[in-house]
């Protein structure tokens, strides 16, 4: 347990160097103070809250990979999917809905979720099993009745659904898949 709090103390010292980490720093300091006072319950609550704050920061970073809307379309970004991911083993997720007034589609990115890891093996062998694949830049996406699913680095799932492939594929091509490989490392 002492190692955990040494890590918390170290994180508290380093956290000010992170942009926007003030609330995280305050929460970690509060957890450390509660621990020193012997209040284990409050310590755990503060550590959980710090974890939620850090998760929100990570999700905001993931949302940066969602493509801009194509010309004539709008994009609405949602990061609300993290509550559901928490029940499915954690990770980060972001989603954007694209609309041109008459058509709509969504792109979802999920990272570091155990279910994504399980899907990774299945998707990487989909072509061998005769499933239909679509080339999107240098990546291949599984096409299941117009819903596209691709895996980056065995741990990041990208899904697009709701519009014709001719609409979604050019938008997916604008994702920086190589930079996405470094997410969360």
pLDDT tens-place string over residues 147-185: 999 999 888 999 999 999 999 999 999 999 999 888 866
Query: Dihedral through CA 69, CA 155, CA 81, CA 168, nearest 10?
Result: 30
Q: From CA 157, how far away is CA 176, in angstroms rounded?
A: 14
Which residues constitute the domain of residue 44?
2-62
Total length of the chain: 185
pTM exceeding the 0.85 threshold for the entire prediction: no
- pLDDT value of residue 63: 87
Both 58 and 83 in a single domain?
no
- Evaluate if residue 111 carries a pLDDT over 90: no
Q: Which of 62, 90, 114 is the last residue of a domain?
A: 62
Q: From CA 67, how far away is CA 84, in angstroms rounded?
A: 23
| Burial class of residue 110, CB neighbours in 10 A (0-12, 13-18, 19+) | buried
Both 93 and 155 in a single domain?
yes
CATH for 78: 3.40.1000
Rounded (5°) CA angle 32-38-39? 80
Average pLDDT in the chain: 80
Q: From CA 150, how far away is CA 180, in angstroms rounded?
A: 12
Report how far apart, in Å, the C-alpha atoms of 32 and of each of 10, 57, 60, 126 are. Answer: 11, 21, 26, 49
- pLDDT value of residue 87: 45
Q: How many domains does the chain have?
A: 2
């Amino acid at each position: 347990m002492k190692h955990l709090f040494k890590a918390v103390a170290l994180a508290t010292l380093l956290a000010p160097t992170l942009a926007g980490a003030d609330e995280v720093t305050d929460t970690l300091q509060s957890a450390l103070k509660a621990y020193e006072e012997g209040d284990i319950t409050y310590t755990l609550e503060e550590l959980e809250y710090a974890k939620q704050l850090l998760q929100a920061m990570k999700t905001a970073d993931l949302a940066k990979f969602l493509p801009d809307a194509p010309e004539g379309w709008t994009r609405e970004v949602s990061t609300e999917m993290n509550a559901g991911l928490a029940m499915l083993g954690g990770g980060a997720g972001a989603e954007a809905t694209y609309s041109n007034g008459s058509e709509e589609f969504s792109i979802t990115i999920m990272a570091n979720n155990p279910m994504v890891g399980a899907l990774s093996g299945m998707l990487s062998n989909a072509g061998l099993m005769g499933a239909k694949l679509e080339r999107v830049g240098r990546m291949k996406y599984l096409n299941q009745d117009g819903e596209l699913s691709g895996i980056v680095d065995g741990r990041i799932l990208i899904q697009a659904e709701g519009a014709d492939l001719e609409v979604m594929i050019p938008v997916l091509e604008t994702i920086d898949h190589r930079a996405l490989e470094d997410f969360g490392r």
